[in-house]
A and B are shown apart, each in its own frame.
Chain A
Amino acid sequence: MVWEQVVEFLGDAATWSGPGSIPGRLWEHVWVSVLATVIAVVLVFPLALWLGHIRRGAEVAGAVVNIGRAIPSFGILVVTVMLLLELGVSVLSVWPVLVALVALAAPPVFTNTIAGIQGVEPATVEAARGMGLTEGQLIARVEMPLASPVILEGLRIAFVQVIATATLGALVAWGGLGRFIVDGFSQQNQGKVVVGAILVAILAVVAEIGLSMMQKASTPRGLSPGIRESPNVS
């Protein structure tokens, strides 16, 4: 019965074109996730770079990791959306979900950047300083390249978590691929639910693998990727 519904859903023309179609929802899901991650990076990366550079922030980063783990991303999503609705933002607009996703993407970027920069050998930094590099050059040419595997790992964790949580956006009236799962539930159409679930799973795994490959490719020779934080699921 499920398979009949899957075949029926996939055979429907509306599944393949229009705003509520698979390509439409996929595009919506991806661009919101990318945008949320980019905004999070713009907001927290400079501060984290600086905190790592002056080597103060290990405690802050540790606290962010611990607190971040204990807060369910579903709860953050719903509370953020509700607060923005109170402020008069439309439930149908992308803003509530986007703001929540930025809040979820920021901690991994922040903590991994601090950990990565702070993990650079102090002797290396001193040597570079001795060679006459300014503080700005030091950050750009020594600390950032050496920290890049850990920083990119933070980016990967953030993006995969955003992809996962964007799925939950369908529970709070937004679109994205989660829409198929949630609509399938309410229409008692298990075929739709299953297709949505598989699409979401594939998207998350592809994002994870793609960013891991990018992380490996951009690792400076002689460095092996370090692991600072285990990712969060949502």
Chain B
Amino acid sequence: MIDWSWIGRNAEEILDRTWEHLFLTLVPVGIGILISFGLTAIILTWRRAYGSITLAAGILYTIPSLALFAALIPVVGLNATNAIIALTSYTLLILVRNFVAGIDGVPSATLEAADGMGYTRSARFWRMEVPLALPVVIAGIRIATITTVGLVTVSVVLGLGGYGFFIYRGFQARQITQTLVGLILSIVLATALDLVFVGIQRRLTPWTRSRA
């Protein structure tokens, strides 16, 4: 059932699709992080915005990816910009929730200690709250990244798709090898990126290591 030689014969195309999949994952997650920083800043200064921002992000998140790609076609066309806009919009709910939860999770005793040591409000934020929020912030980035890797496959309808290209072309040609290669590589990519973020977190927050 599995045609192993297919993999060797298509190594070059697999590599090309790997770059496409990585690009379509990392660009939306990167832009999503930047937008979520902004939204989190708004929420931290104006708490009442939390409900409406998460509601809007939640509605975006609920829209099925095929529908969002399709709805964007008349606006931006059948291209990578379309995929990047749609995929970015899916990261916002997860990222904003985790960014805010990370900052909110800093114990009040820690904040009081910082105040007692004479930290200004902004020094306290950048040197205490942000580092202590990092594990939860990075947990959000990990979930957003894994989710995006999976959604990239649907962008095959835009002529993109990364590994999703193999999944779909395998179906059209009734070649299960191709479909399985696409599926498995997508899982491998999600897992690999997740491990990268675990590594980054361990470097950035050495104090969490002893707990593990």
**B183 is an interface residue with CB less than 8 A from chain A:** yes
**B170 contacts partner chain A, Cβ-Cβ < 8 Å:** yes
What is the total number of residues of chain B having a CB less than 8 Å from a CB of chain A? Answer: 44
User: Which residue of A79, A83, A172, A184 has the most chain B CB atoms within 10 A of its CB atom?
Assistant: A79
Evaluate whether A200 and B94 lie within 8 angstroms (CB atoms) in the complex, with A72-B153, A72-B164, A233-B151 already known: no
A223 vs B106: C-alpha distance when bound (angstroms): 25
Complex CA–CA separation, A194 to B66 (angstroms): 11
B66 is contacted by which of A75, A82, A167 (Cβ under 8 Å)? Answer: A167
Chain A, 48-78, CB within 8 A of any chain B CB: 69-76, 78
Q: Assess the A172–B153 pair: CB atoms within 8 A.
A: no
6 additional A-B pairs beyond A185-B70, A201-B62, A233-B64, beta carbons within 8 Å, are: A72-B149, A72-B151, A164-B64, A205-B59, A233-B147, A233-B151
Residues of B within 8 A of A (CB): 1, 58-59, 61-68, 70-71, 73-74, 90, 93-94, 97, 143, 146-147, 149-151, 153-154, 157, 164, 167-168, 170-171, 174, 176, 179-180, 182-183, 186-187, 190-191, 194
A154 near B: Cβ within 8 Å? no
| Cβ–Cβ contact B63 & A171, under 8 A | no
A201 touches B183 (CB 8 A): no
9 of the cross-chain contacts (CB-CB < 8 Å) are: A73-B150, A74-B154, A78-B168, A164-B65, A171-B157, A181-B66, A200-B64, A204-B67, A234-B150
Contacts of B94 in A (CB 8 A): 230
Q: How far is the CB of A224 from chain B (nearest CB, A)?
A: 16
A81 at the B interface (CB under 8 A): yes
Interface flag for A168 (CB, 8 Å): yes
- Contact at A200–B150, with CB atoms within 8 Å? no
CA distance A81 to B172 in the complex (A): 12
- A121 sits at the interface (CB 8 A): no
Chain B contact residues, majority secondary structure:
helix
Q: Which residues from chain B contact A2 at a C-beta distance below 8 Å?
A: 74
Query: How many residues of chain A get a CB closer than 8 Å to chain B's CBs?
Result: 46
The answer to whether A70 and B179 have CB atoms under 8 Å apart is no
Could you tell me if B64 and A167 are in contact, using CB atoms closer than 8 angstroms? yes
Closest to B59 in A: A205
Tell me if A12 is interfacial: C-beta within 8 Å of chain B: no
Contact B143 A201 (CB under 8 A): no
- Please name all residues of chain A whose beta carbon is closer than 8 Å to the beta carbon of B153 when the two chains form the complex: 72, 74-75
> A28 in the interface, Cβ–Cβ < 8 Å?
no
| Minimum distance in angstroms from A209 CB to a CB of chain B | 9
Q: Which residues of A contact B183 (CB under 8 A)?
A: 71-72, 75-76, 78-79
Taken together as a complex, chains A and B put the C-alpha atoms of A74 and B180 apart, in Å, by 12
Binary CB contact string for chain A from 184 to 214 against chain B (1 if under 8 A, 0 otherwise): 1100001001101110110011001000000
CA distance A73 to B90 in the complex (A): 15
